[in-house]
Amino acid sequence: MSEYNVIKESKILVTGGAGFIGSNLCENLLQNGNQVVCFDNFSTGKRENINQFLKNSDFNLIEGDIRNLQDCQVAIHEVDIVLHQAALGSIPRSIEDPITTNEVNINGFLNMLIVSSDAGVKRFVYACSSSTYGDHPDLPKVENIIGRPLSPYAITKYANELYAKVFSEIRGLETIGLRYFNVFGPRQATDGAYAAAIPKFVKNLINHESPIIYGDGEQSRDFTYIENVIQMNNLAATTSNKKALNEIYNVAYGDSSTINELLSSLRDLLSNFDKKINEVVPDYQLARKGEVRHSLASIKKGETLLEYQPRFSLSQGLSKAIPWYWDYFANNK
């Protein structure tokens, strides 16, 4: 039983539903008696993330691309609420290929706004990014104070916020944007050049390989367990507080840890499965371009307007996620 309001008895479109966050949302929505439409082109999403849902009569997979307006029109049919997670993530990838990042994250986002407003959906909840804060030095990060974006990815996610605001004003579409801070948990990508830090570190440690840390490791992040993200999507989709609509919210725990501290925690937890992991040391390399030094979220706005109360700290989230990762790697060697 959830301790917060959840979406029930609705038809929900989850774009990017085969991805890490999207598939976890699909699972939660199905558990709460909803009809779920998963819309994905599998460019970064994985079929293994949704295989368990395919036999569920309340789950419908539409394979398509948000860059294709016709695909979007098919996916939006009779939908009540949109949870828009589809995007091409990764700051390094956006630096290497800004054109594709722009096409997916801006053109695709605009397509979804158009079809959602045309179809009269009740609410459009979309994934933003903490990268929007850019070079603004203040901590914690407060929603209405941002700096200069430091990457093409950050620019695209800020453009999403601007587009959503305009559509709420000129078309009456109810929107809520959620700025995710370093989300982690089960089903997060563990391979490829753009895998997030936690699954990449875990894979390295299990294989007794030195995790690569870019910079001195003293950069900090507000690591956020997937269950907190699921909670916030549900709250954003169900709130009846008119003051909460057409706004942006940080989605985080509200605490930060350095990369060195993170690696130490991972090593301690994984050594319960394999003592040799304690002997693995990191490989420090040059810091990457486009990444902020420190990140810490203020969650006061979400607490006030959406009654957001994150239930999982970094340590609590890692305690739940590490057994999943261990089983995943044990079964995929």
Condensed to tens digits (0 to 9), the pLDDT of residues 295-333 reads 899 999 999 999 999 999 999 999 999 999 888 876 676
Which domain CATH number covers 131? 3.40.50.720
Is 284 part of the annotated catalytic residue set? no
126, 133, 153, 325: the catalytic one is 153
Segments forming the whole domain that contains residue 300: 11-186+224-252+296-311
Let me know if residue 127 belongs to a domain.
yes
pLDDT, position 91:
85
pLDDT, position 288:
81
What is the count of structural domains for the chain? 1
Let me know if residue 108 belongs to a domain.
yes
Let me know if residue 212 belongs to a domain.
no
Q: Which amino acid makes up residue 156?
A: T
Q: Is residue 70 classed exposed, middle or buried when 0-12, 13-18 and 19+ CB atoms within 10 A define those classes? A: exposed
Let me know if residue 33 belongs to a domain.
yes
pLDDT, position 1:
40
pLDDT band at 193 (very low <50, low <70, confident <90, very high): low
Q: Determine the Cα–Cα distance for residues 321 and 333; give it in Å rounded to an integer.
A: 19
- Find the mean pLDDT for residues 115-142: 94
Let me know if residue 259 belongs to a domain.
no
Let me know if residue 67 belongs to a domain.
yes
Two tokens, residue 234 = 């549900």
3-state secondary structure of 11: strand
